[in-house]
Structure formats: C-alpha cells, structure tokens
Amino acid sequence: MKKKNPNNRSIISVGQIIGWIVVFVLAVLLFNKPGVKQTTLDYSDFKQKVAEAAVSDLTVSPDTISGLYKNEAGQFVPFKTVRMEDPGLVKELSTAKIKFKAEQDRSWIGNILFNVLWIFLLIGLWWFIFIRPQRSDGKSAMNFARSKAKMQDPSQQTVTFKDVAGCDEAKEELEDIIKFLKNPKKFQKLGGKLPKGVLLYGAPGTGKTLLAKAVAGEAGVSFFSASASEFVEMFVGVGAARVRDLFDQAKNNAPAIIFIDELDAVGRRRFAGIGGGHDEREQTLNQLLIELDGFESKQGIILMASTNRPDVLDPALIRPGRFDRHISVPAPDLKGREEILKVHAKKVKLGSEVDLKQVAKGTPGFVGADLANVINEAAILAARADKDAVTTSDLDEAVERVLAGPQKKSRIISKHEQHVIAAHESGHTIVARLTNHSDPVHKVTIIPRGQALGYTLQLPLEDKFLTSKSELLDKLCILLAGRAAEEIVFGEITSGASDDLNKTMAYARKMVMELGMSDRLGPIALPNGEENEVFLGRDLSRHTTMSDELSRTVDEEILNLIKTSYARAKDIIIKHREGFDKLVATLLEKEVVQANEIDEILGLAPVVKEGQPQPTTPTPVKEEPKAQPAVRPNAQQADLFE
C-alpha cells in the first residue's frame, strides 16, 4: 500500500481566496440588489388615484400592487400598496383604461431559497477555504509556513548508482550511508551512529543532486528534496516554520533522506556583513541547527545538502555532530568523463565509428552536466541532418556548440578585419607551438562562433592537477601573443585582445599574490581583497595587512611579469616570421587549420608526448585537410582568444 504523499494538499492561494470573495459579494448584490425608492400608499388613496386615472403600469401580485402614480407636482413616481380583498378592482381598472399585469407569487420554497441562499453560500465558502483543508491535512488554509519540499516515495525512485559516473570516491563515501539505512542494527550493535548530515560540495554540474537521489534510490527510503531559497520569505518566521515542518514530515516517514540544494542560501555565516543579526535568513539557519541537534541517529533521518561555496558556510553548521561528513564531488578525470558519456549515450544511437574515449580526451575540465549536454546536442544535430545515427562530426560540433554557441554564418567580416583576426590567432598558435611547457595546439580557426571571432585550441595530453611556474610563464606569453602579432604586422593594436589582457592580469596577479612565484617577494601569500567582500559572508572588521611599500612591490612584480612575457612573445614571432606569414595566409584561405598542418607549416614534428617539440625539415602543404567541425577549448585547460 502506497504511503500518502503529504505534498498533495488542498492549498488555496491568495488569488483563489480573492476570487471567492468577489463571487460572494456579487451573489449578495444579486439576491439583495437595491430597488428604486417607492412611495407607500394607503389602499384608499390608491383607489382614489384609480378613480382619477392617475396611476399607470400597475403590477398586481397576490400581496402587493406596485406601479406609477401622479403626485401633486404632476409627475409619475413609483409606489406600492398592500392589496386588499377587492373583487371589483379588475373591473375598475378596465373601466379607467389603466394598463396592468398580474404577477404570480413565489412559492414558499422559492421564498426560502431567495432569502437564505446567500447564507448557505457564505457557509459553503467558509467550509471550502478553511474546514476542507483541515480535514485533508490537519492544517489551516493559511499554510504558507508549510514546507515546499517534494517527497518521493521509494517505489517511484528510479535513480541508482548505475546512473552516476565519474565520482567513484564520492560513491564509496556514501556507501556507508546506504548500508546504515538498510541495516542499522549492523552498526548499532558495535556502537556506531548514523551520520546526521552529509555535505556534498563541488563545482556546479558535477552531479551533487544526482548523487543524493541515487543514495535514496539505493537505500529505498523516502526522499525529501528542497531548495534552500524556498525557506526564506518576506514574512518573519516563515523560514523557521518551514524547517520545522520539513523535519516533522521526515520523522513521520522515517527512514528518510532530506536533501537541501544550494545550502549557502541559508547557511552563510551569521553576524557578518551589513545589517543586524536577527534577519529572517539567520532565524532559518538557527532553526536548522536546532533541528540537527533535535533528532537521534536511530530515527533513520539523514540530512544531505549541496553547495559550491563551502567556504562561506557557518562553522556551527558544518561542525561534527551536524554535518559529520564533507564529501568533495570534483570535475571528472579522463576515465570519469568517458564513463559519464557512456551513461548518457545509452539512450542515443551512436555510429559505429564513434569513440567516446576520444571525445573524453577532447573535453578536459568538463563536468557531468556539460557532457550530458554534449550528447543531447549531438543527437539534435544528427536528427536535424536526417541521419540514422550520431556521428563523430556531430559530437565534435556539439562540444563546440555547448561552449561557444553555433557558428555565426551570417556575420559579415571585412577582408581587413579577417586579416587582423588571422594574424592575432596565428600569433597565439606560433607561440603556443614553440614554447616548451605549453599544451599541444589542436587547431586554430577564424570562423566566428558565439562572441569569439576566432580561437586557438590547446588540449593537454593528460589530466593535470599541478601547474608549474614555467607553464604559467608560457601561458602569459601565449595570451599576449595575439596583441604582439597585431603590433608587428599592422603597427597598431585593436580591441580584440581585451579578453586576453583580462586573463593575463588574473594569471600574473595570482602568481605574485597567491602562489609565491615572485623572485623579489619570495614564497608568501598576500590578501587579494576578495576576503573582505560583504556578500561572501566575511566580517567587515577585516582589513588588509599590506603596507604601501609592499603593495608597490606587488604592482611592480605584476607589471614586470606582463612586460617580460609580451617582449618574449614578440621575439618568438619575429624569429619565426616566415612560418607566421604562411600560417596567416593559410588561415585566410581555409579558415580552419588542424594540428598536423600547423606542424608542416612550421617544420616541426608532431607532439607525441608532453615535452619540447623537435624541429624537422619544413615540408610544403600537400592537400587541404578534411573539413571537420572545430572543437572549442575548455575554460580550464585551454583559452579562447577573441
């Protein structure tokens, strides 16, 4: 027998209540509409008016007579009188040629309905708004303090760990939770307690919510899901009431899992920033802390939450005894990306030539949501082209569409601007290919896509978790190479390097202030100012500890890194000007140049492993490579040059 879903409530919204009130008012006006003011005449006066033919438009009913009579001013005004037993009245009216009409009297049933119907209407309206919801769920109609969490019965849960890939370590951490929910006595006999709270943290799209659903599906228990923003309203106390109601529902359906998405919406540090410490958000957080302390692990309730900002959460919330386990859900590695692609490709018909491992290699830094979107976009592209299956070209185009949008085929670019873009991208490509610690160049294109007029794609040969100083210096050099190429070829610069300059400044600042990669400053980390931002939940009392002299030295080191890298980029382009000019001409002709052709133009051997390229004898380009959809760089592993 299925459990009754507590979310199937009869909740009357404010709009519905107003609508019923309007109906009630109209009904009252309909049954009690005010009539025209009538003068009451005695029956004798009425008979005299009849004799004088001073009445008209009479309505004769069994109890009353109404119509118009001529007053002293000679005007006809409404009147009514009580009808008496007068058998000769009809004859008198006919003799005086006074028009009249007879009206049938309402029955006693009609009178009762006419007089008391509006009362029944009021009672029915009251029952429908107030009494009926109380019978259905025991709550008042004014139940905006009820939790908006959605409950899912165990029989309706279809998500399991088979649907989750790319986060094996996180799944292993959650296995204990599942085993405890299935067989709590196994742990309790040894004195073990079920963790009260599990915090999942990681970048957006890594699968935190999916993991929580999979835990509920594997354990076969009730699952309550809610967003933290649903607790806080403009009315004081609503958030705390909704927290209490949510935990009450979970206790009534134990064992159960409560999942709160984006916990930082209510879990930020208290008494921080502008304003007092008694706002609605903090009251909601306080109630959440009380509820976490108020239930025992033996009740079989687990609170799971997700956030991508664990650093702003209140320490009292994430301490042991409340959120006992903190589980990181990182971006997947190469193997994880391949497994995620296989999971999402189960319902998609793939061509025999499709190699998901190659797709995984071309998507470094992608999270689960990105990869799911890649498969979906590829299926849409294949269906649009009336194909029988998804091909490799569809997947390549899907990767590019997910990150940069569709190609701007209708964008008209002048020949001069095309030359500038080709020189800009060739500068990036030359420097990226000839520096010793940069990722291999996969392709370069000047086809507009999204906001980019062109880009150079670099893909790493393997996943990286550490970055050396030499790699960052090469990165600065590559970023500035586009601007350097514009200055060398045209003698002036354009606005196309704005994004490159922003990234250059960010890298240089991070190297000097956070990574300790400055020779003058040494291995120190300096405050970057973000810690003092109020919206991050930090206290206003914090202030920078940098002296004026130290700040000046930091600025000098940052500028020195940028100027040195810019001069180095210009030097590389000038030394290889011949290959640079060939690459510009090829880009203008073909718009897309792949890695093998770049190596032929520069006379370099293909990169087979990470390390320094080995020069060879230049050979001419034999044929144009097959046109394939470009693969856009990922934000973490490659840079998009506009």
The residues assigned a catalytic role are: 425
Tokens read off for 344? 């999402």
- According to DSSP, the residues that pair with 452 across neighbouring strands are 449
Q: Which two three-digit tokens encode residue 455?
A: 């880009």
**Cβ atoms < 10 Å from Cβ of 216:** 26
Bridge partners, 546 (sequence order): none
Instruction: Estimate to the nearest angstrom the gap between the alpha carbon of 525 and the chain centroid.
Output: 34
- Cα 535 → chain centroid: 19
- Identify whether 527 is preceded by a cis peptide bond (ω within 30 of 0): no
Summary count for the chain: helices (H), strands (E): 21, 14
Calculate ∠ Cα 294-299-303, nearest 5°.
65
326 bridge partner residues: 199
Token pair for 439:
């990722």
* Cβ atoms 558, 504 nearer than 8 A: no
Which is nearest to 448 in space by CA: 485, 484, 414, 483? 414
User: Terminus-to-terminus CA distance in the chain, angstroms?
Assistant: 61
> Dihedrals φ, ψ of 79, to 5°?
-150, 165
Residue 99 CB neighbours (<10 A): 10
Structure tokens at 484: 């350097």
* Residue 397 · residue 385 · CB < 8 Å: no
Residue-by-residue DSSP string for 267-327: HBPSS-SSS-S-SHHHHHHHHHHHHHHHS-GGG-EEEEEEES-GGGB-TTTSSTTTS-EEE
User: How many other C-beta atoms can be found within 10 angstroms of the C-beta atom of residue 466?
Assistant: 5
